[in-house]
Copies of this chain bind each other. A is one copy, B any other.
Amino acid sequence: MPLRVPARVHIVEVGPRDGLQIEPRTLSTADKVALIDRLSGCGALEKIEAGSFVRPDLVPQMADSQEVFRAIRRRPPIRYTGLVGNSRGAERALEAGVDEIDFSVAASETFNRRNVRKGIDESLEELRRIVALAAPGRAPAPAVPVWVTISTAFGCPYEGEVPADRVLRLAEAALEAGAAGVVLADTTGMAYPTQVGELVRQAARLAGTPRLGLHFHNTRGAGLANVLAALDAGAVRFDGSIGGIGGCPFAPGATGNVCTEDMVHMLHAMGVETGIDLSCLVETARWLEGLLGRPLPGQVMRAGPRSRRYPVPEERPRAC
């Protein structure tokens, strides 16, 4: 049976928030805005995670998200999203004019407690409050969708394996609490392809593929293999991070999020449409590499696309 790939997938660019927040060098507000505007100029990204509304003392890199949202050039139908940690953050995000709210809850109790000082049940309570705030009549109408990222969905650095049933029950609870969709996130790069295929198949039955996102890291080299396994299992929405920026505090020195342009490159090669201009993404990644002042993990930005041709040399090339 050939691998199953869909005709079209939707790409969510998380670099400006998830990627930048862990970079050693903090970008200026103007550079963040320039990054987001360059990204939105590359075509049909479904969403751009443009900032977060969490405590600035905990994530100082994102303290200027309000200004970022004010200054970016909106290009519909791209939706600009912001991460929130609680209902106070959601109020700030709604004031800033986010198109969608991102909220995160871990499938591992230990991880959730360490990350947000709440149990999973308390996080679900918080989610209900956020959904209520974002509902018509409360927030600027129309309703602002709240998407829930289920972190450590493929394993937890404290607890180890996270049973698929627990992830699925949490996804169900999030949808019942009013989440517009759920994203299964491999927060510390523990996912592997057969696991991904199985969980995606089950989650898709639960949520339906339009309401199911996948978020992979390349921490152990299997990022695009996991994307492939998810595609084969029916997934059509993927997070990526320009240049592969970001990472995880649990694996210092390892690469971070799946690189958007490497993912788009693989998808296009397989004939999967994204609506995105790959060369524009690659240019943006190279520009960002200059700003961040470190070599980024993206590969296509170095090698060029597979369509790149070389002139036939006079001399025999060196050792190939």
Contacts and interface: CB of A to CB of B under 8 A. Distances in A.
Interface of A: 1-5, 21-22, 58-59, 61, 110, 114-115, 117, 151, 155, 157-158, 160, 187-190, 192-195, 197-198, 201, 218-225, 227-229, 232, 248-251, 253-255, 259, 262-263, 265-266, 269-271, 298-300, 302-313, 316-320
Q: How many copies does the complex hold?
A: 2
Given A160-B309, A221-B298, A306-B155, A320 B59 contact: no
Contact of A319 (B59, B227, B310): B59
Contacts of A189: 303, 306
Contacts of A4: 1
- Majority SS at the chain A contact face: loop
A192 B308 contact: no
A45 to B, nearest CB: 19
B271 A194 contact: yes
Contact of A22 (B117, B151, B201, B319): B319
Nearest to A106: B320
Nearest to A52: B319
21 contacts: A3-B194, A22-B319, A58-B319, A59-B319, A114-B316, A155-B306, A157-B308, A157-B310, A160-B307, A190-B306, A218-B221, A219-B299, A220-B305, A221-B224, A221-B259, A221-B299, A221-B300, A250-B317, A250-B320, A251-B302, A254-B303
A249 B3 contact: no
B157 A316 contact: no
Contact of A158 (B225, B312, B316): B312
Contacts of A218: 221, 299
